[in-house]
Amino acid sequence: MTAQAAARPAVETTERGAVDVVALGESMVTFLPARPGRLADVPSFDRGIGGAESNVVCALAAAGHTARWVSRVGTDGFGDHLVETIARYGVDTSAVGRDPHRPTGIYFRTADDRDTDTHEVVYYRAGSAASAMSPGSVDEDALTAARILHLSGITPALSADCLDLVRHLCTRRADRGPLVSFDVNHRPGLWKGAPEGPEVLLDLARGADLVFVGEDEAATAWGVTGGPDAIRAALPEPATLVVKQGSRGATVFRHGEDPVFQAALSVDVVAPVGAGDAFAAGFLSATLRGLPPAHRLRHGHLMAAAALTVPGDLAPPPARAHADRLAALDDAAWETLRLGPGWTAHAPEDTEADEEVRNP
């Protein structure tokens, strides 16, 4: 929890009015090692929170948008911690259900990059309260009273009921309401014993209005290689498709427009976690503001850089004026920009357009 997040007042929850973004998904209490090493060797852990969808709305709330998180947690201390922590970011948690019969999920992980052999993560989420979410167990009005509904491919992997819920929300119909944003977030470990998982994700993505997918995910899940154009050919339905290309950058496709690419930023990485969720939050923030496609991608990269330069999943975003100023740099200045820990604390006037943003 950052000082900035703690200082934000909780959203008034006496009425569930419309918000900018609502996200549905499981959040868990996460235990991070107090020092590097194997889980077997670490003697103590620091407590945090983790959840793709709640990460997105926490970042959006910290950036000044109204946001709601819809989920279920147990009637236990971990559930209390999740709801209270997420609410302190300014997120409306009034639609989070409490389940007296199922626990709140928790997990332990090492600090290493998820893509390395040294990374370990152990989940205790089977039978969790969130895995029991279904079309009848959540407040659909709370989900649809928003400009954007954000979902991910993690939720449908939790249970058949969760899949039914996400499938219902991704079904195209005239009265669907908010723009549906879907982050594919393919996690093979969650689909063990369910070989249909990749096709399920493809079907859900086809029903969304805005889709985030990585080149690596498309190759692993669907066998689609050949770059962003090949992925767009496999996913022509969404009005907006964002293809994340790792350290190279990202490309956005929109119906009736030429694709737009923006290079990723050079970042002094502190911890390689949370960047994908932060990128989605930055892109959605710029979408809510009606910014052009190139700036939506740049705001995604800036939010991702904020997450990469702190130890945990969540980071204080740059002030809006600061982010706008960086997003407006010319291509040469953007491509030479380098961001390090503490960069979000700079005021806009602290940074000249042709200089790198370095540690304060």
Catalytic residues, which ones? 277
Q: Going by C-beta distance under 8 Å and a sequence separation of 6 or more, which residues neighbour residue 99?
A: 72, 73, 74, 75, 129, 132
Cα dihedral sign, 51-55-61-67? negative
Give the separation between CA 354 and CA 35, rounded to whole angstroms. 38
CA angle 199, 205, 207 (to 5 degrees): 110
Do residues 45 and 107 make contact, with C-beta atoms less than 8 angstroms apart?
A: no
Which of these, 16, 132, 144, 69, lies nearest to 314 by C-alpha position?
A: 69
Residue with tokens 């850089």: 305
Q: Which helix (H) or strand (E) holds 147?
A: strand 146-152
**Rounded-to-integer distance, Cα 297 and Cα 123, Å:** 32
Which residues does 229 contact at the CB level (< 8 Å), separation at least 6? 259
Q: In 3D, which of 195, 199, 232 has the Cα closest to residue 213?
A: 232
- Angle formed at CA 329 by CA 248 and CA 280, multiple of 5 degrees: 50
Q: Which two tokens stand for residue 119?
A: 């990374």
Amino acid, single-letter form, for residue 114: R
**Main-chain dihedrals φ then ψ at residue 79, nearest 5 degrees:** -65, -40
> Distance (Å, rounded) from C-alpha 167 to C-alpha 18?
22
Maximum distance among all Cα pairs of the chain, rounded to whole angstroms: 57
